[in-house]
């Protein structure tokens, strides 16, 4: 497995692979790899001859400095996991490789990046689309794979790639969960034992909503009310948002669902009662397969 | 000479050329080609095996609708000029090829795009950097050539390419002038006979400033005062800006020049006294080679 730090070197390698007619898949990550990332690597493997993983904790997408500084980092462990997963190449650039001196260029998606996490985390998606653009310019992949846990991120990146005529296929990989339903996230390690138990309420709420919709419930207030009650019953939890939106446009769903909707959640968890530290913000989502009325 | 409208087709052609190890140079234009553009084609020919020209009047970089609608267009003549100049391929996309439905992604350079034309034409450079990004994604060139007449545009595009890790060399082509010094521009056709004569005052002012600097003048107020007097002596001319700035950072020059500076001009010309129509805005510039004090 090659480990590359230089963007120029990576671009030369990409040109070489492409000239041989080999397909490259890129899995962009911020490291702290877990089984969720490895499932994206497996998804990438299905679609390409070469699977490349990038590991870069991107400063411009954090809207709180403490979140950036506290973000878990363990490059040796990440590289070991990549090796075991059969990754061909890891791109682990230093910040100056992606942000040259006086960097002042931004790639920004507007409407899709406004609601949900865009409203709570100003500038977050601008940082994401900017760094993903750079990573795509460096690795020149045919395919790039992103996790569906970050549902809005995936929608924003798809739109960016289409709008900017990027010659890359953007693929989503299914959410991977713990036994109790908690979606895997690098931030889960920051949860205290009590918060960790309470965090399973997100997927329970999603399951319940899916069940309710399968049983015929279409009222968005009723659905979202039940979701909030499930989560707010947890002493450490505070709902950041719980919303139903169109899975493609992210437009707010009508008061009665008439088509598929994504139920998107973001929840803050306070430190355990005997602990200190920052709150942990978790996200999760489920696309609710609501058929249109007259089908 | 191939003429291509589809971005997908162009991307496939680009992949084919690159796989054969051939170098592609792109000359992005808005059509209405003149000898200035053809000099960029010649510059491109020196640096690549394939010379591709794009012709697209980009709606998002016009800040006045009348300017967009009145922008000169003559595709047949443009294609004929490209053929004669030995261009290998012309990319002439329809707007939907570069701006998909509900396009909402912008590429934006901040500081460098703020002064000069950025101050007078809000949103102009955002439109330029966005469309140039798309054109680069479509044509995948090794080199892209832009005219130095649009000095700030060239600086902004260079910064964009570097910041976004684009694997492309950005090259500037020297300004081409009429016999009386007027810099070639597609907009010159809109000048009435009197305005056309008066428009030569821009290059006269640049010549005079260069001469003064060669003679030891370092005072920016004195230099800019002389420039303004030369241009404002023309009845139809109104100076939009006349500034001395650092050629790389575009920071305002100090009151006494101690290093190279670009003298950048933008001037509005009113219609001739007996004519109607919109004002025509012309730009021009010259880098003044001021040595540092102790060299």
How far apart are alpha carbons B79 and B84 in whole angstroms?
Answer: 9
**Rounded to the nearest 5°, which phi and psi values hold at A75?**
-65, -40
* B248 CB neighbour count, 10 Å cutoff: 12
Q: Helix A151-163 vs helix A124-139: angle between axes, to the nearest 10 degrees?
A: 60
Residues of chain A with CATH 3.40.50.620: 2-173
Token pair, residue A7, equals 């963007």
CA of A13 to nearest chain B CA: how many angstroms apart?
12
Nearest CB among A104, A111, A130 relative to B104 is that of A111
Q: Which of B123, B180, B166 is nearest to A140 (CA)?
A: B166
Interface ipTM: 0.96
Residue in A34, A37, A124, A190 annotated catalytic:
A37
CA of A117 to nearest chain B CA: how many angstroms apart?
18
CA of A210 to nearest chain B CA: how many angstroms apart?
30
Token pair, residue B55, equals 């012709």
How many CB pairs below 8 Å do chains A and B form together?
91
Per-residue pLDDT tens over the stretch B63-90: 889 999 999 999 999 999 999 999 999 9
Q: Which residues contact A43 (CB under 8 A, 6 or more apart)?
A: A145, A171, A173
The SS3 call for residue B283 is: strand
Q: Could you tell me the fold of the domain covering A2-173? A: Rossmann fold (3.40.50)
The burial of B195, by beta-carbon neighbours within 10 Å (0-12 exposed, 13-18 middle, 19 or more buried), is given as buried
Residues of chain B with CATH 3.30.1300.10: 186-288
pLDDT by residue for chain A (295 residues), tens digit each?
999 999 999 999 999 999 999 999 999 999 999 999 999 999 999 999 999 999 999 999 998 899 999 999 999 999 999 999 999 999 999 999 999 999 999 999 999 999 999 999 999 999 999 999 999 999 999 999 999 999 999 999 999 999 999 999 999 999 999 999 999 999 999 999 999 999 999 999 999 999 999 999 999 999 999 999 999 999 999 999 999 999 999 999 999 999 999 999 999 999 999 999 999 999 999 999 998 654 4
Helix (H) / strand (E) element for B212: namely helix B201-214
- Which chain A residues are within 8 Å of B99, Cβ to Cβ? 163
**pTM confidence score:** 0.97
Nearest CB among B105, B140, B166 relative to A163 is that of B105
Which pLDDT score, from 0 to 100, does residue A157 have? 98
- Which chain B residues are within 8 Å of A111, Cβ to Cβ? 102, 104
CATH architecture classification, A186-288? 2-Layer Sandwich (3.30)
């Amino acid at each position: 497995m090659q480990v590359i730090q230089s963007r120029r070197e990576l671009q030369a390698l990409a040109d070489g692979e492409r000239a041989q007619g080999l397909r490259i898949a890129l899995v962009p990550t911020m490291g702290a790899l877990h089984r969720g990332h490895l499932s994206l690597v497996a998804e990438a493997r299905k679609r390409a001859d070469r699977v490349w993983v990038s590991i870069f904790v991107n400063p411009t997408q954090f809207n709180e400095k403490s979140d950036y500084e506290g973000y878990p980092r363990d490059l040796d462990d990440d590289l070991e996991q990549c090796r075991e997963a059969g990754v061909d190449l890891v791109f682990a650039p230093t910040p100056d490789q992606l942000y040259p001196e006086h960097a002042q260029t931004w790639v920004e998606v507007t409407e899709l990046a406004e609601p949900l996490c865009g409203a709570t985390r100003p500038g977050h998606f601008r940082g994401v689309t900017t760094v993903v653009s750079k990573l795509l310019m460096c690795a020149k992949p045919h395919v790039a794979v992103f996790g569906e846990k970050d549902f809005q991120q995936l929608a924003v990146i798809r739109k960016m790639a289409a709008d900017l005529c990027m010659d890359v296929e953007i693929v989503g990989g299914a959410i991977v969960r713990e036994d109790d339903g908690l979606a895997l996230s690098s931030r889960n390690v920051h949860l205290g034992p009590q918060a960790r138990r309470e965090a399973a309420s997100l997927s329970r709420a999603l399951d319940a909503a899916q069940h309710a919709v399968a049983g015929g419930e279409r009222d968005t207030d009723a659905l979202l009310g039940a979701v909030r009650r499930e989560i707010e019953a947890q002493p450490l939890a505070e709902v950041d948002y719980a919303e139903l939106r169109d899975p493609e446009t992210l437009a707010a769903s009508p008061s009665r669902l008439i088509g598929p909707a994504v139920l998107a959640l973001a929840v803050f968890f306070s430190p355990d009662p005997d602990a200190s530290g920052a709150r942990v913000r978790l996200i999760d989502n489920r696309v609710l397969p609501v058929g249109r009325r007259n089908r």
